Amino acid sequence: MTRKRTAPTAPVFCTIVPPHILGKLAESDDPERHEPARSTLEHDALHRTRRTDLAGRTVTPKEARAAADKPDRTVYDAGHQQNLPGTKVHSESDGPSKDASVNRAQSGLGATFAFYLKAYGRKSIDGKGLPLDATVHYGVKYDNAFWDGERMVFGDGDGQLFRDFTIPVDVIGHELTHGVTQYTAALDYQGQSGALNESISDVFGSLIKQYALGQTAEQADWLIGADLLGPGIHGKGLRSMKAPGTAYDDPHLGKDPQPATMAGYVTTTDDNGGVHLNSGIPNHAFYIAASTLGGKAWERAGQVWYDVLTGGHLAKNAQFADFAALTVQAAQARYGAGAEHDAMVKAWSEVGVTGKK
């Protein structure tokens, strides 16, 4: 028997590749580089406008399973069109597909489901067994992937600057975590709360990859989209949590502009107040906390972040300092006044969100 949950507020349109990268590419004189970037930018801007228009309304919820300890995944093929969801090509009970993108999407949905269930006891992204849908082969040379409030959508990339967006599991985890945030804190996608929204997706996207690979904090690369950049691109990924601002330095992409501390905080009206830029600051705070504690990052640092995200005390318009204070409180509540508490204090102090303690 299934049951319906109360519909969440309509989500914003969340993409993995930020507008500042696509904007730089769109300036290129080479049509093979600028045309995919320009069409992707136009597509994303249109969908962001539609999502803004929906703000404050509700979305129709799917039916969730009350006791789901296994994923319920469905993959669709857009056939290089932009009509969603596309043609259904794979269900949970099906064997491997001949289409590698379908198999990677299916696997990434499963890795994300397994992580949240086994690490935190969460049943799918809504906590109640929500079926997981994905669409592959979206658009022509579409250089992005996004969560639209109902499903994951993957472009194939242009083959030069970006590869198929189903390849990095952390990208899939990142986008699905926007769904977790949608069903929990519902952080406003603007300014610092929007940067926290993006950062939370980076944090758990990275943890999903680390969990799947069995990595410790010391073994992890702390990169987002490490396998996404095309051949010849001078870069390691889209973002670095270990060293924001160093993920890429390329004639086509430009130089990674993310700040690691509040000293470099970017004040801008672009990208909803720089949500993909300033997310580097809480990203780096998480890296510091996790590396200070060592071991498996999802077990202590990740648990604290999850407690804050799902605890009911995180305001929709929370600022960095608000989130920082909640992590310190959550660490003490779960672990006492010990190493975990001290790691949170150290992390937020080192990135300049809080004063020296």
For the record, the structure tokens of 149 come out as 């409030």
Rounded Cα–Cα distance for residues 77 and 60 (Å): 22
SS (H, E, C) 106-154: HHHHHHHHHHHHHHHCCCCCCCCCCCEEEEECCCCCCCCEEECCCCEEE
For the record, the structure tokens of 119 come out as 């690490």
Helices (H) and strands (E) counted in the chain, each on its own, are: 10, 12
Of 90, 276, 284, 341, the active-site residue reads 276
For residue 284, indicate whether it is catalytic: no
Q: Minimal CA–CA distance to 347: which of 274, 257, 256, 242?
A: 242
For residue 341, indicate whether it is catalytic: no
Q: Classify 313 as helix, strand or coil.
A: coil
Q: Minimal CA–CA distance to 241: which of 197, 204, 271?
A: 204
Rounded Cα–Cα distance for residues 188 and 82 (Å): 27
For the record, the structure tokens of 229 come out as 């950049």
Rounded Cα–Cα distance for residues 99 and 186 (Å): 35
Of 175, 178, 252, 284, the active-site residue reads 175
- The label of the residue with tokens 């290129």 reads 28
- The label of the residue with tokens 């699905």 reads 176
Residues in CB range of 113: below 8 A, 6 or more apart: 71, 73, 124, 132
- The label of the residue with tokens 């406008």 reads 49
For the record, the structure tokens of 138 come out as 């979206």
Sequence letter at residue 80: H
Catalytically annotated residues: 175, 276
